[in-house]
Amino acid sequence: MHRPLLVSDDPALLDRVVDLAARHALELDVAPGPADARRRYSTAPLVLIGDEAAHAWLRAGLPERAGVMLLTRGHGTARVASLAEEVGAEWIVRIPDGERYLLRELRRASAGPAVTTAVRGRILACIGGRGGAGATVLAAGLALTAGRAGLRTLLVDADPLGGGADLALGWEKVKGLRWPALEHTDGPVDPGALFAALPARDGVALLSCGRDPDAAVGLPPAAMASALDAGGRARDLVVADLPRRLDDAATLALRAADLVLLVVPAEMRACMAAARVAATIAPHTDAVQVVVRDPGEVRRRQIEAVLRLPVAGELHSEGGLPGRVDRGAGPPGRRGSLVALCRHILGGVGLGPVSPEAGAAA
């Protein structure tokens, strides 16, 4: 919890700083860029940014925080000073001249409690092990279950080639902002203004894809970063519905997620397809768990053995659920397998107790 975070892709800078820390038995978390650093950024006691990574840092739109240091191998220039101001760095340290000072700050940061900018909301991501696995229904179920429990929730539709989270919820006619309106967003956005403009009901705000078939396919990564940041600052929970073919925006959401739920129908072909999806997402997250849909033909233990991933729970078919989605009524109702599973998952990430009903279903 108390490891400083170094963000740089400069090999020479990395070698100097990592070697300095190792010689004095200090541990660092190292990330090549802001996308990889996002999950640890708010809790690291000290953040070190290489000057070559500063422009990417600015584009990522991460919120300002205390305890940021800009590292440079160049001489003190107006350009470096300007970069430090833009990224919100409190210090500029030249390597190797300033290594003694850097070592002192690393020791201080490693010994003290972690610094946090604020209590940030949880981020969950859902992804299908194959097409039609039910990831969108699970994402919608999680969002609605959380919203009805009083949690401020943002549901992010990150699959521009999917059927649309607004259709899954039955919200296609609800007025509000969609992704195309955020296409040119670059940097932090005001959470209050954003959530006032999005379609919302029952404590859930929705950021869904547009309906224009001629619109560009793919979501802007900068807009995704802004949405995740706003959701983390102003919501208790962000749920992202991810495509199986990752683009840059989906990868950002995947890396930011506290828990990634891989939905796998209990069929051998689906299990084999899910294994490929799991291999695709593995470089970006180590927080993957499986939701087994309709266990029967392929048992839970077999899926665990093939995928080598823990099982978060099981989702059993509900006779009226497909009809609800087709009628635009949206999932879920107030009870049933989906609601029980969602309550169990939310309880597991610290967003409410697990009810007896949920524990039995999972």
Instruction: Encode the chain (362 residues) as per-residue pLDDT tens digits.
Output: 468 999 999 999 999 999 999 999 899 999 998 888 877 787 788 999 999 999 888 888 777 778 899 999 976 577 888 888 888 888 899 999 889 989 988 988 877 554 444 457 889 999 999 988 889 999 999 999 999 999 999 999 999 888 778 888 888 888 888 888 887 776 667 888 889 999 998 899 999 987 666 555 678 888 888 888 888 888 999 999 999 999 888 988 888 888 999 999 988 899 999 999 999 999 888 889 999 998 876 677 888 888 999 999 998 877 656 555 555 555 555 668 889 999 999 998 888 654 434 333 33
3-state secondary structure of 151: coil
Q: Where would I find the H helices in the chain? A: 11-23, 34-41, 54-60, 78-87, 99-111, 135-148, 165-169, 191-197, 221-234, 248-256, 268-281, 300-307, 321-326, 337-348, 356-361
Tokens of 54: 């500063």
Q: What's the CA gap between 37 and 59, in Å, rounded?
A: 14
- pLDDT for 323: 55
Residue 127's pLDDT is 97
- Assign 163 to helix, strand or coil: coil
**Sign of the dihedral through C-alpha 235, 121, 230, 168:** negative
Query: How far apart (Å, rounded) are the C-alpha atoms in residues 46 and 133?
Result: 41
3-state class (DSSP) for residue 360: helix
Query: In the prediction, which pLDDT does 118 show?
Result: 46
CB atoms within 10 A of CB 155: 32
pLDDT reported for residue 69:
94
What is the pLDDT, as a whole number, of residue 156? 95
Alpha-carbon span 311 to 170, nearest angstrom: 29
Q: Give the model's pLDDT for residue 320.
A: 57
Q: What is the pLDDT of residue 174?
A: 87
pLDDT of residue 112: 57
| pLDDT, position 324 | 58
Residue with tokens 């833009």: 86
Q: Which residues of 38-73 are buried (b: 16+ CB within 10 A; e: fewer)?
A: bbbbbbbbbbbbbbbbbeebbebbbeebebbbbbbe
